[in-house]
Structure 1
Amino acid sequence: MAVVLGVNAVFHDPAAALVVDGEIVAAAEEERFSRRKHGKVPVAFSTWELPEAAARWCLEHADVDPSDLDAVAYSYDPGLASPVTPDVVDGNWEGLRSLFVQRAPLFLRSALPGLDPGIVRFVPHHVAHAASAYLAAPFESAAVMVCDGRGERGSYLGGRAAEGDLEVLATVSLPHSLGLMYEEVTEHLGFRRSSDEYKVMALASYGRPVHLDALRQAVRVTGDGRFTTAPIDWARFSPRRSSESEWAETDADLAASVQAVLEERLLELAEWLHERTGERALVAAGGVALNCVANSRILRDGPFHDMWVQPAAGDAGTALGAALYVAHASGDRIEPMRTAALGREWSDHAVRDALVTADVPFTQAHDVAGEVSAALASDAVVGWVQGRSEWGPRALGQRSLLANPTRAANLERLNDIKGREQFRPVAPMVLAERAHEIF
């Protein structure tokens, strides 16, 4: 029976999660409190920036004092990273990153008074990713796929989990990385790397994979559950785009080509995992697992009967995975993750007070569903808030914008409201009785 706080603070998406007696009771990303997208800049010298507000909220939500914690699980193991060096040489900040992580127990004690720095446990980054999937999923056993930009020294983990334990079958070390490849093309196409990869995925739907053969030569699977990636000169396919310029057909074609090679290689890795493990289910995490188009391809064309993806598949999810891993190691039976609604919740009283303070006119709805339906029918855009906020980057009905789906113009309208590029998609909305016709 343990009370474990999970913390992610190393690369990006700082977050905290609380697991009590094997049950996930709270999880939140720092950006939901700071309103700073992704929580911080993903550079080595931001590693000291802890998810203080998220961690404090998790503890307050469960009425837990920092002194009550049995462990703090930190989702990075500095012992597996590059050695610490006293100087920064040729722009290599890895030593500084490791130094900050080694000091994390002291930083945490300052952020959470009463916390014993001796209870901090370092969990390898990809193990934390993996645990966020296999310990949270509703399967007794499953194949495990973790793919991201990087961890301490690797970029991929494939394995099998059974009864809460992980058997690692294949790993890929840097510089080979599908995630970093996708980050590179994200930057080349004028977007922000380690942030806007989902924009490349969206842009890909407007292009043709005309460069697929060339990219296949650069990205290869090796037949043993691993892959290699060679350096790619992106300018040979499309000129580097500035963030201010309009996207061109060549940009969309490059995005489509990278998306296609990513899907092919992930599918081949999934097939190898199925052959080695014989499992019916695949669980996935890591930033690449936020590529829902690739996930759909694996489920549709791959050998697995079931697939479960951690909703916070990016680095935020390692806070939860680290906490679950340490809780399991302490002997707790882990309860599956039943919902992604693990964040903050606002009472009607708190909402009313905020509206009064802001001097915003409001009325109390008595038939919420009826009034929202009428508003949508009249072509209004509705801001929908219910229950606890989502864990992870996807709007899943807890904090969403709704618009009439019968009007195609509302796609552009929603993108305008959110200040998004017009090639970005939105989630579908359909009457419950017609859902089976579409999904």
Structure 2
Amino acid sequence: MKVLGINAIYHDPAAALVIDGKVVAAAEEERFSRRKHGKRPLPWSAWEQPELAAAWCLAEAGIRPEELDAVAYSFDPALMGTPEESGLNDPGDVMRKQYAEMAPEFLAHALPGLDPAKVRFVKHHVAHAASAGKAAPQRDNAVLVLDGRGEAHSHLAGRYVDGQLEVLAGQALPHSLGLMYEDLTAHLGFLRSSDEFKVMAMASYGKPRFLGELSELIRATGDGGFRTEQIDYTEFAPRLGKGEQWTADHADLAASVQTRLEEVLVDLARWVHEQTGEKTLTLAGGTALNCVANTRILAESPFEEVWVQPAAGDAGTALGAALHVAAELGETTEPMPGAALGRGWSDDEIEQWLQTAAIDYERPDDVAEAVAEVLADNGIVAWFQGRSEYGPRALGHRSLLAHPGYEANLERMNDVKGREQFRPVAPMVLLEKAPEIFSRGPIPSPYMLFVHDVAPEWKDRIPTVTHVDGTARIQTIDPETEPLVHRMISSFERRTGVPVVVNTSLNTAGRPMVDDPRDALECFGSAPVDLLAIGPFVVRRPKATARPA
């Protein structure tokens, strides 16, 4: 069976392809269109489909639209009520529902040859749930989905047994932890449905001194659900415009909401454990990208393991919808093989790009050694290797790398990317060395979805990646799954004694992560980066960038 999954209704449009129960390709539309998040989550954008991502998925597998057995669309308009019934009173929902109902025709137009009758609607939170519960290595698991909204809910709690979902609870709108956090994001001067991770970073600079006032406004109900009342954030800190300087009050507000979110999520996790007794909890939905909350769930709930879908936001529903429909059609689905599900290029294809660009390049004996040498000399490296990642995290395929041992490199990396200076950068660490340096969070941690405490004796050795609260959002590098990255970091360790490198996404502010060789060359040409490592080749900047003392 060949099932194409589609996410298109809100933001982060994406496509994923499952063939005979196996995930063979998945990609977000932004990587092709070069528009951050693909589109804004506005009602009049609901007609837009991930045409480029879907076409690539089919081409990657060598199949035509007419050969598909089904297309799984991760939203079911039949489950969507009126704006008044949802309690959100958003008149745009009428248009959103109409466009969703027309999705089969839109997709048939985008993919000539597709029979619109093959399009199946999948409940949004069921698609999220499948992206976690059916993609995780553990076949039996409890599952929590939390995001802004689906058709009529903002949450699902359930369990997977032998691949079948049992729904145990769901929170109806207008109560939504995701929308509550989005409101705070906008209040702090950031972009709603995009910059929530900045709020999480800001929270580390504050104290949760408004927690008492928020406890009654944001609370679990003891039956698997929760309540989020309307919050007037101006009672705690004035609203900020874009780019305005935040104060201690704003940081304290962020810390208070973040802490209350964590507490409610722990309560929800404890409830679903009481209902299921499962050892593993799987998470999806945009709220599951909150790595601080994920770590607290693992630490304070009874679950032995927490597995988070690396594309936990709406992009992941394309994968979940495809897995769900494949199972409905009788397939036994397999866990996802990893996050590297996007585009990749052969060495010959990459060299053709370099020749077309008429740029000087080299093919060193070992690109890992060449990169380690530049990093050890405190250079910045653009790293473009293998297939691109599915989801928002750079996981060693489309990365900017640097030496973690210089405090000034945090400011330097944020300057390269055009980011706010309060935002942290993350470390990649050799799997076998991680327990010496990091604690509290899970190890292995291959998808950068938890935070770990940095050992006291290491904080001064890796200041670039040690956040203000003494934590780091790590990615562990397994030599079995990431041999090239492991070899590069091992070579860096031989030169420096540090088995860690800085890893942040290969892009600049407001742009999607680099995906193809042209993107990589353009990013390298416009940012103060010392070396581009692209496949087995390297491109050196003729004039080295200034390095901090």
Above 0.5 in TM-score? yes
TM tier, smaller? over 0.9
Displacement, 1:245? 1.2
The worse-fitting range, judged by mean Cα deviation, of 191-200 and 91-100 is 91-100
Equivalent residue of 1:428, what SS? Answer: strand
Q: Given residue 354 of structure 1, which amino acid in structure 2 is its aligned partner?
A: W
Q: Does 1:109 align with 2:108?
A: yes
Matches within 5 A, 1:335-350: 335-350=334-349
Equivalent residue of 1:323, what SS? Answer: helix
Residue 136 (structure 1) aligns with: 135
Displacement, 1:431? 5.1
Equivalent residue of 1:55, what SS? Answer: helix
Q: Decide whether aligned partners of structure 1 residues 433 and 17 sit closer, same or farther in structure 2, where only a CA change above 3 A counts.
A: closer
Gaps of 5+ in 1: none
Query: What is the CA–CA distance in structure 1 between the aligned matches of 2:110 and 2:228, rounded to whole Å?
Result: 40
Kept after mapping to 2: 8 A contact 1:84/1:99: no
Residue 60 (structure 1) aligns with: 59
Displacement, 1:371? 0.8
Displacement, 1:350? 2.1
Matches within 5 A, 1:120-159: 120-159=119-158
Question: With CA pairs under 8 Å and 6+ residues apart, which has the higher RCO, 1 or 2?
Answer: 1
Equivalent residue of 2:427, what SS? Answer: coil
Query: What is the CA–CA distance in structure 1 between the aligned matches of 2:430 and 2:104, rounded to whole Å?
Result: 50
Q: Decide whether aligned partners of structure 1 residues 431 and 118 sit closer, same or farther in structure 2, where only a CA change above 3 A counts.
A: closer
Percent identity at matched positions?
Answer: 61
Residue 411 (structure 2) aligns with: 412
The worse-fitting range, judged by mean Cα deviation, of 346-355 and 179-188 is 346-355
Gaps of 5+ in 2: 439-549
Displacement, 1:349? 2.0
Give the TM-score taking structure 1 as reference length.
Answer: 0.97
Query: What is the CA–CA distance in structure 1 between the aligned matches of 2:310 and 2:297, rounded to whole Å?
Result: 17
Equivalent residue of 2:154, what SS? Answer: strand
Q: Given residue 421 of structure 1, which amino acid in structure 2 is its aligned partner?
A: E
Q: Given residue 419 of structure 1, which amino acid in structure 2 is its aligned partner?
A: G
Q: Does 1:305 align with 2:304?
A: yes
Q: Does 1:220 align with 2:235?
A: no
Displacement, 1:82? 2.2
Displacement, 1:432? 5.4
C-alpha RMSD of the superposition: 1.5
Q: Decide whether aligned partners of structure 1 residues 433 and 134 sit closer, same or farther in structure 2, where only a CA change above 3 A counts.
A: closer
Q: Given residue 392 of structure 2, which amino acid in structure 1 is its aligned partner?
A: P
Residue 82 (structure 1) aligns with: 81
Query: What is the CA–CA distance in structure 2 between the aligned matches of 1:259 and 1:186, rounded to whole Å?
Result: 11
Q: Does 1:255 align with 2:254?
A: yes
Q: Given residue 153 of structure 1, which amino acid in structure 2 is its aligned partner?
A: A
Residue 351 (structure 2) aligns with: 352
Residue 3 (structure 1) aligns with: 2
1:344-397 CA-partner distances (Å, limit 9, x unpaired): 002222222222222322111221111111000111101111110001000111
Residue 401 (structure 1) aligns with: 400
Kept after mapping to 2: 8 A contact 1:84/1:96: no
Displacement, 1:423? 1.1
Query: What is the CA–CA distance in structure 2 between the aligned matches of 1:205 and 1:91, rounded to whole Å?
Result: 33
Query: What is the CA–CA distance in structure 1 between the aligned matches of 2:198 and 2:139, rounded to whole Å?
Result: 35
Kept after mapping to 1: 8 A contact 2:14/2:53: yes
Query: What is the CA–CA distance in structure 2 between the aligned matches of 1:47 and 1:228, rounded to whole Å?
Result: 28
* Residues matched between the structures, number: 435
Matches within 5 A, 1:228-247: 228-247=227-246
Query: What is the CA–CA distance in structure 2 between the aligned matches of 1:225 and 1:366, rounded to whole Å?
Result: 57
Query: What is the CA–CA distance in structure 2 between the aligned matches of 1:434 and 1:233, rounded to whole Å?
Result: 46
1:116-135 CA-partner distances (Å, limit 9, x unpaired): 00000000000000011111
Give the TM-score taking structure 2 as reference length.
Answer: 0.78
Residue 274 (structure 1) aligns with: 273
Kept after mapping to 1: 8 A contact 2:83/2:89: no
Equivalent residue of 1:146, what SS? Answer: strand
Q: Given residue 381 of structure 2, which amino acid in structure 1 is its aligned partner?
A: V
